[in-house]
Amino acid sequence: MIQLPNHKSSTLVQVGDRVLVRFGTRSIRAEVIEDLGGIGVGGRQIVRVKALEPTDGEREEFEVAADELN
């Protein structure tokens, strides 16, 4: 029988939460628009966020580990 490693079961953020994302040397406000679940290394929760302020031509939506959000 194959055993999968234990993954974190609690979610740090939920869809609709407003968060701060480190974006280069600054932080930008963003909203969580999708929870991709514990697909990160070691079961880290990955979420898709949408920037709520201009990002100087960078992507408006992107994925980030939930434990890197403020």
AA identity, residue 70 = N
Q: Does residue 1 lie in a domain region? A: no
Q: Does residue 7 lie in a domain region? A: no
Q: Does residue 60 lie in a domain region? A: yes
| pLDDT tens-place string over residues 18-58 | 999 987 888 889 999 999 999 999 999 999 999 998 767 77
Q: Does residue 50 lie in a domain region? A: yes
1 — pLDDT class (breaks 50, 70, 90): low
Q: Does residue 8 lie in a domain region? A: no
Q: Does residue 9 lie in a domain region? A: no
Residue 42's domain spans which residues?
Answer: 19-68
For residues 22 and 8, the model is more confident at 22
For residues 1 and 48, the model is more confident at 48
Residue 61: alpha-carbon gap to chain centroid: 11
Question: Do residues 65 and 45 touch, judged by C-beta distance below 8 A?
Answer: yes
**What's the structural domain count of the chain?**
1
Name residues whose C-beta falls within 8 Å of residue 58's C-beta, 6 or more positions apart in sequence.
23, 51
